[in-house]
Amino acid sequence: MTTVSQCFSTKQEPVESDKSSLLVVSFYKFADFPDHADLRKPLKDLCEELCVSGGIILAPEGINGSICGSRESVERVLAFIQSDVRLSGLRQVETPVSPEQEAIHHGHSSSSPLAAGEDAPFRWDHVRVKLKKEIVTLGMPSVSPIERVGTYVSPEEWNELISDPETVVIDVRNTYETRIGKFKGAVDPCTTAFRHFPSWVENQFALKQEGNETQAKVEKEEEKAEKPKVLPRIAMYCTGGIRCEKASSFLLSQGFEEVYHLKGGILKYLEQVPKTESLWEGECFVFDKRVSVEHGLAQGTHKLCYGCKQPISDEDMEAPEYESGVSCPYCFSEKSEEEKERARARQSQFEEWGVIGGPDKGRRPATKPDSPRKSSAKLGSSI
């Protein structure tokens, strides 16, 4: 098997074809997948062999992930996943990696020589394949996108739908995502986690529980009598589409009849719809080290606060609450002094070594585990 050091040597040959250029692919598929755990090891081994980094979640309801690597390697990983007929037809969004990010990914960063790739889309030497209960956490086992979802709307048709005054446009993402960008006129539920979305819907549309059935009702003050409420047409969107699969399935289970969602999510919209025709305002937060993207999936301007993992602007970084690697205006008041001190220690390690934990972080011990003094001496001579 190819080792990590072989994958990401600092001496890279010039890129001669598109097959060697890097790209990021986000993908998911809801499926009946009870034996999902069996896929973890062979999938992780293949990613490591092909030098593909990123994160993948496996659950009884399917697969969800974002990976980065050469086009050829990524295509091989996706083909392997889809060799299981239950996972064929992955919904995916592809994003090319900029030359600057690619250079960092290949180890040409002078700012972090010991952790080359620290600023690349994903940790350059690492792939995570996790086992979870859900590929996107809503906390409602009865909601199944495998059985039914809303109506998909292509990016080309999206503007017409959300421009209709009879359509209620809902941003299904969390508040730290919506504050840096959203569609014009969209309703922001102001949730901090996707699992809070059902409660927001129940409150927003006055859904009441009656026995085992949930229906929407509204009280007319003049008659003081309850009558069925006519639920509005809903158009929802999220980053890549996966949260809308569950959210639309949930709304349908609550009696909503017209539920639409943006196919491919914001990312596909930004990729396909010209900026001159776009109704998107701001930037789109992404769950990797690019932090945010703009139209055409170009690199955005936001950075990440490593104290809370939220996007921050240049203006936020000028605020007195901002301290690199420790806090920002959005988390400063929520962190104790003890937490800030621990964060400062981690940041100090990173600034000194280029990686948290020291220069040998993640490497095999130079000597046997029962020889700490020899190991320490080896570390000293390697600095």
Residues labelled catalytic:
238
Alpha-carbon distance 195 to 261, whole Å?
A: 18
Using alpha carbons, select from 365, 177, 160, 191 the residue that is nearest to residue 260.
160
Residues 6 or more apart in contact with residue 341 via CB below 8 angstroms:
none
